[in-house]
């Protein structure tokens, strides 16, 4: 790890220190690293849609809305290769919250998220993406089991 020195005017530093306090950071270095990671990831997501990512799509919808649950399920099946896991929570008699963990090409993950969130009856949709490097490996994990298996490792780029 390298150490750097930066100059910041007093007002900006006061705002940064306030940000740190509100978000529970113990030191400026960790807060600065997180902000830097966030900016780098955001730029990658805007400029490289062919790269890989992991993501979390959350949305709330009215399960009684005409055919909506069926349309969402159909969209998920049409993109089954992107979905890792889905959590479904009943919020009220009408409203459900779903969280879908996704992994794949940035452009395809965004397209899937837009197809779900744009459905009439879906509200409060939000997609959080982290660019990744993907390594497909064939090696053994742990000490139990018969030999190696093929699987994917996704590592954040920052």
User: Is residue 76 situated within a structural domain?
Assistant: yes
Phi, psi for 27 (deg, rounded to 5): -155, 160
Global confidence as pTM:
0.77
Same domain, 85 and 30: no
Give the β-pairing of 83-90 and 52-62. unpaired
Number of domains making up the chain = 2
User: Is residue 153 situated within a structural domain?
Assistant: no
Same domain, 29 and 71: no
User: Is residue 41 situated within a structural domain?
Assistant: yes
Q: 115, 106, 124, 148: which is closest to 58 by C-alpha? A: 124
Same domain, 79 and 115: yes
Same domain, 76 and 103: yes
Same domain, 39 and 99: no
Residue 86: which CATH number? 3.30.70.1150
Same domain, 70 and 113: yes
**Which residue segment(s) compose the domain that 39 sits in?**
11-47
Average pLDDT over every residue of 80-106? 95
Measured distance CA(139)–CA(29) in Å, rounded: 36
**Model confidence pLDDT, tens digit, residues 129-145:** 999 988 876 666 666 66
User: Is residue 89 situated within a structural domain?
Assistant: yes
**Model confidence pLDDT, tens digit, residues 23-74:** 999 999 999 999 999 999 888 888 888 899 999 999 999 988 888 989 999 9
Q: Lowest-confidence range among 69-73, 126-130, 147-151?
A: 147-151
DSSP track, 10-63: HHHHHHHHHHHHHHT-SSHHHHHHHHHHHHHHHHHHHH-TTSEEEEEEEEEEET
Confidence of residue 153 (pLDDT cuts 50, 70, 90): confident
User: Is residue 2 situated within a structural domain?
Assistant: no
Same domain, 56 and 126: yes
């Amino acid at each position: 790890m390298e150490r750097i020195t930066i100059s910041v005017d007093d007002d900006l530093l006061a705002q940064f220190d306030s940000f740190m306090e509100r978000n529970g950071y113990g030191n400026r270095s960790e807060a600065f690293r997180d902000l830097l990671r966030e900016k780098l990831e955001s730029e990658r997501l805007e400029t490289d849609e062919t790269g890989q990512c992991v993501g979390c799509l959350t949305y709330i919808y009215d399960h009684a809305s005409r055919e909506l649950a069926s349309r969402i399920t159909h969209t998920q099946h049409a993109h089954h290769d992107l979905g890792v896991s889905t959590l479904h929570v009943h919020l009220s008699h009408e409203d459900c919250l779903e969280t879908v963990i996704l992994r794949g090409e940035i452009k395809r993950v965004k397209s899937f998220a837009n197809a779900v969130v744009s459905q009439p009856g879906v509200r409060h949709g939000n997609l959080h993406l982290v660019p990744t490097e993907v390594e497909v490996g064939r090696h053994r994990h742990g000490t139990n089991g018969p030999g190696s298996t093929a699987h994917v490792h996704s590592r954040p780029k920052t």
